[in-house]
Amino acid sequence: MSLVENLKWRYATKKFDASKKITAEVLEQLKTAIQLSASSYGLQLYKVLDVQNPEVRKKLQAAAWGQSQIVDASQLFVFTIPTSFTAEHIDELIQLTADTRGLDPAVLNDYSEFMKGALLNQTEEGAKSWMGKQAYIALGTLLAAAADLKVDACPMEGFDAAQFDEILGLDGWTTAVIATLGYRHEEDGMQHAAKVRKAKEVLFENI
């Protein structure tokens, strides 16, 4: 139950120690966790930007209400999603599946048509919402993996997505959610606060 204990340890870190950096090995494990995250149909409808450039991060901080995590954390992950969902996304998955499993893509035609029938009829807003949810699933996996590796993290929605898109020069993609990762500063008082969570009796109901 080490994961449960590490989840008790984690919290949304508000102040990072800018002098402490995540090692390349740990960073690779965090990226692998995102890569292996559950994803609807396995489509992985997101791209994660690891923003390392200090000047870019300073600009992003201004677009995130000046929050210090943006510049002080070791890593800034920006989860982006396509601005629209198309048949090409499904075709890419079919080809990747065929290549990975040594199959003729033609044997996956029925699955391809099923996905297209189920997914391509969404409204633009519905598709954006659905793709955003996929990014959040990956974010949840990242937070659990970070806790397991004793890396501090803070998922963040407090930013102007349009400004982020402009600063990052996104084309065909838009910012969904961000996460900062690193190590807590000893002055961050939130690390000593009791974790507030609803009781299991309130969260769960047997039917």
Tokens of 149: 């590796």
In the predicted model, what is the mean pLDDT of residues 19-36? 98
Q: What is the pTM of this model?
A: 0.96
Residue 1, pLDDT score: 60
In the predicted model, what is the mean pLDDT of residues 102-123? 97
Distance, in Å, from the CA atom of 86 to the CA atom of 50, rounded to the nearest integer, reads: 25
Distance, in Å, from the CA atom of 153 to the CA atom of 82, rounded to the nearest integer, reads: 25
One-letter identity of residue 57: R
Reduced to 3 states (helix: H, G, I; strand: E, B; else coil), residue 45 is coil
In the predicted model, what is the mean pLDDT of residues 21-49? 98
Tokens of 177: 């959610």
In the predicted model, what is the mean pLDDT of residues 12-26? 98
pLDDT band of 97, cuts 50, 70, 90: very high
E strands, the chain, where?
A: 47-51, 75-82, 152-156, 173-182
CB 98 within 8 A of CB 88: no
Listed residue (3, 23, 1, 5) closest to 183, CA to CA: 23
Could you tell me what percent of the chain has a pLDDT over 70? Answer: 100
Rounded CA Rg of the chain: 19
What does pLDDT average to over the chain? 97
Distance, in Å, from the CA atom of 179 to the CA atom of 202, rounded to the nearest integer, reads: 29
144-203 pLDDT tens trace = 999 999 999 999 999 999 999 999 999 999 999 999 999 999 999 999 999 999 999 999
Domains of the chain by range and CATH?
Answer: 2-83+124-203 (3.40.109.10), 86-121 (no CATH)
Render the chain in DSSP notation, one character per residue. Answer: -HHHHHHHH--B-SSB-TT----HHHHHHHHHHHHTS--GGG----EEEEE--HHHHHHHHHTTTT-THHHHSSEEEEEEEESS--HHHHHHHHHHHHHHHT--GGGGHHHHHHHHHHHTTS-HHHHHHHHHHHHHHHHHHHHHHHHHTT-EEEEE--S-HHHHHHHHT-SSEEEEEEEEEE-B-TT-GGGGSPP----HHHH----
pLDDT at 35 over 80: yes
